[in-house]
């Protein structure tokens, strides 16, 4: 059986521990290194007791030589870390998947304006592959560097893709109204993430500009083969996990509800982690909690000229660590669902 030696840089955040959870039962993965500058020497199972019995390894300093002994390295780190180490790793033959945003935006002037720092390795951007398997599976197979998509961008792009590729909606008036659980803000101690600040509340944020906007537009424009005008408004909801994206488009052709349903079902018929639910379904974030599945439904309300798509994912799985493992599986010619066959948790 093929064994893949895995390194994880930044193993103490939510995406890091989610990677550890998923890889613990992966039949082909052997985690060789888990790094954390602040927790070096601390056993993984001491920090995360849910992993007791699965990992007999401690966090270590992110020494490049140790990471070079891996087949693949995941970066579950703040923006700016992966791009500082990736060139040396790929030169040593190590594949890289970055779960942050260092490689997601092709236009580096746009990237630098949103992330406020110079890009450290523009010379490797030409070979970076955007890791949305439903669009780029063939390129992922031979990639050395994967830009793992953001959580909001995953749900929004998957929801809009069938409509844009079929040329059915007005690309000048796209709306993405999206909501995320608090874990999307990361594990750091922040006042805005406290239970007393988020419970029993519901608010929009980033209305004048969210860093996922250029990433989403980049993907939608590739689908439409044209510039698009997108209004993207994220919201914070008082849950831990989950993203729900309600997407609106104005139809440019007269297609029925039945035809829309058929379009979505045909688009994703062969996709292991996209579930187009039956007509009149209402996708719920609870239906994907802990799983790598994206579930969606399409509507033409009251037979009007607006089409509505609702898509749900777990922001830490299909929106982050699960999609990263899915990409790893494709890169190493493993079963695409290896380590990812988790049924969503209910209740």
- CA distances to 55, 105, 224, 246, 342 from 229, in Å: 47, 17, 11, 16, 36
Do residues 313 and 294 lie in contact, with contact meaning Cβ atoms separated by under 8 Å?
yes
Residue 70 known to be catalytic: no
Pair 95, 76: CB distance under 8 Å: no
Catalytic residue numbers read: 151
């Amino acid at each position: 059986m093929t064994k893949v030696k895995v390194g994880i840089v930044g193993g103490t955040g939510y995406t890091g521990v989610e990677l550890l959870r998923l890889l613990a039962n992966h039949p082909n993965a052997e985690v060789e290194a888990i790094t954390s500058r602040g927790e070096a020497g601390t056993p993984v199972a001491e920090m995360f007791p849910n992993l007791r019995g699965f990992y007999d390894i401690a966090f270590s300093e992110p020494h490049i030589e140790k990471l070079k002994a891996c087949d693949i390295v995941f970066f579950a780190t703040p923006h700016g870390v992966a791009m500082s180490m990736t060139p040396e790793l790929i030169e040593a033959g190590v594949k890289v998947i970055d779960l942050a945003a260092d490689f997601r935006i092709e236009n580096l002037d746009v990237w630098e304006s949103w992330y406020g720092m110079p890009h450290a390795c523009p010379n490797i951007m030409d070979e970076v592959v955007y890791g949305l398997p439903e669009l780029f599976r063939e390129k992922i197979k031979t990639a050395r560097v994967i830009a793992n998509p953001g959580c909001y961008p995953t749900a929004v792009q998957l929801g809009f893709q069938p409509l844009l590729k079929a040329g059915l909606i007005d690309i000048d008036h796209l709306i993405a109204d999206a909501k995320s659980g608090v874990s999307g803000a990361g594990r750091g101690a922040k006042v805005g993430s406290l239970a007393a600040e988020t419970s029993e509340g519901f608010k929009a944020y980033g209305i004048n500009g969210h860093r996922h906007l250029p990433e989403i537009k980049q993907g939608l424009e590739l689908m439409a083969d044209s510039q698009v005008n997108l209004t993207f408004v994220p919201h914070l909801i008082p849950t831990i996990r989950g993203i729900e994206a309600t997407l609106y488009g104005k139809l440019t052709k007269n297609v029925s509800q039945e035809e829309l349903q058929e379009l979505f079902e045909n688009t994703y018929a062969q996709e292991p982690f996209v579930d187009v639910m039956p007509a009149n379904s209402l996708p719920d974030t609870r239906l994907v909690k802990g799983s790598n599945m994206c579930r969606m439904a399409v509507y033409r309300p009251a037979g009007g000229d607006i089409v509505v798509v609702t898509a749900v994912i777990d922001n830490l799985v299909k929106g982050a660590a699960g999609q990263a493992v899915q990409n790893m599986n494709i890169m190493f010619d493993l079963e695409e669902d290896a380590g990812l066959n988790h049924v969503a948790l209910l209740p």
